[in-house]
Amino acid sequence: MSISREEVVHVARLARLALTEEEIALYGEQLGRILGHADRVTSLDTEGVPPTAQAIALANVFRPDVLNEPAPCLSQREALANGPAVEAGHFRVPRILEDGDPSGEEVAEE
Amino acid sequence: MSDLVTTIGLEIHCELATSTKMFCGCAVGFGGEPNTRVCQVCLGHPGTLPVPNEQAVAYAIKIAVALGCGIAPSSIFHRKNYFYPDMPKNYQISQYDIPLGLKGVLEVTTDAGTRAVGITRVHLEEDTGKSLHMGSGGRIHDATYSLEDFNRAGTPLVEIVTEPDMTSPEEGRAFAQELRSILEYLEVSDVRLEEGSMRFDANISVAPPGERGAKVEVKNLNSLKSLHRALAYEEVRQREVLGGGGAIDQSTRHWDERSGVTRPLRTKEHAFDYRYFPEPDLVPIKPSPEWLEAITSGIPELPPARRRRFIADYGLTPYDANVLVASRAAADYFEDAAAAAAGIEPKQVANWLANDLLGRLSERGEDLETTRVTPQALGALVGLVAGGSISGAQGKVVLDEMMVSGRPPAEIVEEKGLKQVSGRSELKAVVAGVLAANSDVVDRIRGGDAKPQGFLVGQIMKATKGQANPAVVQELLKEMLQG
């Protein structure tokens, strides 16, 4: 099991990782081994086993829609405490979607 | 190029009116100080776990059932992965290949007729936070930085996707209106469009009949008006491009409300690679038959059925039925008022409600929930007018007073001495007096000039302090001028 250089670059881009050529080669090989391990599962006979996204046989785990007093919310000060930059009660973030931003998002054209 | 066909599909996001968020116990609300309705879960802190809000799931199922969808026996949540600062987890918990509801239908009526619009799916997800773009224009591309408020992050959100079954901007708007009414009837959302609790994206293509046009997605539609305007603009734009021999590219465009145009969005490569995978922290939703039954039995009579009943049982015109049924509050109010005005033509109650009360309320920035005029009082007022106790004009004066004081109409009529005088003998004396005092006018009318007759009516109303029954006055005038 191996994955191509293009796949590694694509996944790295989606995860916002800037990889060197050496890292691309290294992670390509490591990811290939992980996938190879998972690939062994396909050798099992799963005839008659329904597909599932869950390893535990649970369903319908819910929470009642009740607003507790006091609310479980953080104070604004606590909420912002770990923010790298804060302004006027908000998290301050760098401008979104700069040129060359690899986000794959959309920008309105002038 | 009139032989071109327009094809429209909609995607609607609607915030659910739960008390708490989708996956945590923070309050759901609008406005307020930024970042005060947030916790470790909706801020995406490491190690936290989501727990779904049972009421939100029930609301989403209620919507799906009301739209005629089949409910998935077992549906699951997925993670939709992308980076955007208004989403602190870097993924949105949504549904992907097994949504709560599939394959429904909603009929919409326009001047062009009735059309059944297919509902592709109804699924449950969480809303994002709000970004405030700081810079010269307050717009994303000239911002120098952005501020994030996560109060909205994690609000339960239902996404409703239609089939591309609509063929005009009017049908698109009618669908959105009808859906909004249904959501109001279901009491699952406050449907306040101006607060963003309902938002629209549209797909529109124009092509010769039988051909498939290139799909253009229009985003940023936050009102019924902008939905209609954007669709109408885009329909004309595409027709002009095709008419000029050009081709439409499959693309995404942004509606600019201010200038009333759509603009292209530059889509970079690798867009929409969301790497959906099943949310490992949440278990499937498997609604029991008992739960489904309980949810379904809570669905009231919905607008399409109620409209038919208003026409059949109350004898309303389709137009009046439409106006009243569009809002559950107005329709409920009408039924209560009509019951209070038993024996009176319901059409008259509908007129007083739709034309007089609702008009006055919107002028004053009030609504049927805040007004002091009860449905019973409006019914009583219509009864007084229909029974001839007061004239229509007097009724409007009484209504104004009712809106201020909330007092019953009969009391106001009594106090203001607003009794309508309909007795012929009583009025005959008044008319005779007015005619005698205005013999010059009478001569002109008898000479063939009908114009001053209104002046005489005015004089008679003045002499009776507006209490004369106008129909009787007209009748008497006609007789006595001839005589």
A33-50: per-residue pLDDT in tens? 999 888 888 888 888 888
In the predicted model, what is the mean pLDDT of residues B402-421?
Answer: 84
Q: What is the pLDDT of residue A102?
A: 38
Assigned token pair, B338: 């009509």
Which domains, and CATH codes, for chain A? 1-44 (1.10.20.60)
C-alpha B205/C-alpha B155 separation (Å) is 32
B316 near B325, Cβ under 8 Å?
A: no
Same domain, B330 and B245: no
pLDDT confidence bin for B271, thresholds 50/70/90: low
Interface test with B, best of A6, A11, A73 (most B CBs within 10 A): A73
With an 8 Å Cβ cutoff, is B267 touching chain A?
yes
Q: Which of A89, A63, A61 is nearest to B129 (CA)?
A: A89
Q: What is the pLDDT of residue A105?
A: 42
B148-167: per-residue pLDDT in tens? 999 999 999 999 999 999 99
All residues of chain A having their beta carbon less than 8 Å from the beta carbon of residue B283 are 54, 56, 58-61
In the predicted model, what is the mean pLDDT of residues B171-195?
Answer: 93
Q: What is the pLDDT of residue A108?
A: 40
Residue B429: domain span: 424-482
With an 8 Å Cβ cutoff, is B29 touching chain A?
no
In the predicted model, what is the mean pLDDT of residues B331-347?
Answer: 91
To the nearest whole number, what is the mean pLDDT of chain B? 90
Q: What is the pLDDT of residue B70?
A: 97
Cross-chain residue pair A79–B150, CB shorter than 8 Å = yes
pLDDT confidence bin for A100, thresholds 50/70/90: very low
Same domain, B338 and B478: no
In the predicted model, what is the mean pLDDT of residues B10-38?
Answer: 95
Cross-chain residue pair A65–B24, CB shorter than 8 Å = no
Say if residue B169's pLDDT is above 70.
yes
Q: What is the pLDDT of residue B97?
A: 92
Cross-chain residue pair B140–A61, CB shorter than 8 Å = no
Same domain, B404 and B437: no
Q: What is the pLDDT of residue A106?
A: 41
With an 8 Å Cβ cutoff, is B292 touching chain A?
no
Same domain, B313 and B431: no
Q: What is the DSSP string of B123-184?
A: EEEE---EEEEEESSSSGGGEEEEEEE-SSTT-EEEEEEE-S-B-SHHHHHHHHHHHHHHHH
Interface test with A, best of B16, B18, B20 (most A CBs within 10 A): B20
Q: Which of residues 126-155 of B touch A (CB under 8 A)?
A: 131-133, 135, 139-141, 143-150
Same domain, B352 and B226: no
Q: What is the pLDDT of residue B417?
A: 75
A52-97: per-residue pLDDT in tens? 777 788 999 999 999 988 888 999 999 999 898 999 999 999 887 6
SS (H, E, C) B414-432: HHHCCCCECCHHHHHHHHH
Q: Which of residues 441-480 of B touch A (CB under 8 A)?
A: none
Q: What is the pLDDT of residue B295?
A: 96
Domain edge (last residue) among B272, B295, B318: B295
B160 near B11, Cβ under 8 Å?
A: yes
Say if residue B432's pLDDT is above 90.
no
**What pTM was estimated for this model as a whole?**
0.82
B132 near B147, Cβ under 8 Å?
A: yes
B341 exposed, middle or buried (CB, 10 Å; 0-12, 13-18, 19+)? buried
B48-80: per-residue pLDDT in tens? 999 999 999 999 999 999 999 999 999 999 999
Same domain, B291 and B367: no
Same domain, B307 and B451: no
Say if residue A99's pLDDT is above 70.
no
Q: What is the pLDDT of residue B170?
A: 96
Domain edge (last residue) among B364, B396, B416: B416
CATH number for the domain including B472? 1.10.10.410
Same domain, B278 and B311: no
Same domain, B311 and B285: no
Q: Which of A64, A93, A104 sits opposite B270 (nearest CB)?
A: A104
B100-153: per-residue pLDDT in tens? 999 999 999 888 889 999 999 999 999 999 998 887 666 666 778 899 999 999
Cross-chain residue pair A94–B145, CB shorter than 8 Å = yes
All residues of chain B having their beta carbon less than 8 Å from the beta carbon of residue A75 are 36
Backbone angles phi, psi at B408, to 5 degrees: -65, 145
Q: Which of residues 417-446 of B touch A (CB under 8 A)?
A: none
Say if residue A109's pLDDT is above 70.
no
Domain edge (last residue) among B295, B328, B343: B295
Same domain, B210 and B242: yes
C-alpha B459/C-alpha A35 separation (Å) is 97
Say if residue B421's pLDDT is above 80.
no
Amino acid at B59: Y
With an 8 Å Cβ cutoff, is B34 touching chain A?
yes
Cross-chain residue pair B18–A65, CB shorter than 8 Å = yes
Say if residue A101's pLDDT is above 60.
no
Look-up of token digits 């947030």 = B38
Cross-chain residue pair A54–B284, CB shorter than 8 Å = yes
Q: What is the ipTM of this complex?
A: 0.83
Say if residue B1's pLDDT is above 60.
no
Same domain, B261 and B310: no
> Quick one: closest CA in B to A16, which residue?
B83
Say if residue B407's pLDDT is above 60.
yes
Cross-chain residue pair B84–A105, CB shorter than 8 Å = yes
Q: How many CB pairs under 8 A join A and B?
A: 172
Q: Which of B348, B303, B312 is nearest to B330 (CA)?
A: B303
B279-293: per-residue pLDDT in tens? 999 999 999 999 999
Q: How many domains does chain B have?
A: 3
Same domain, B42 and B127: yes
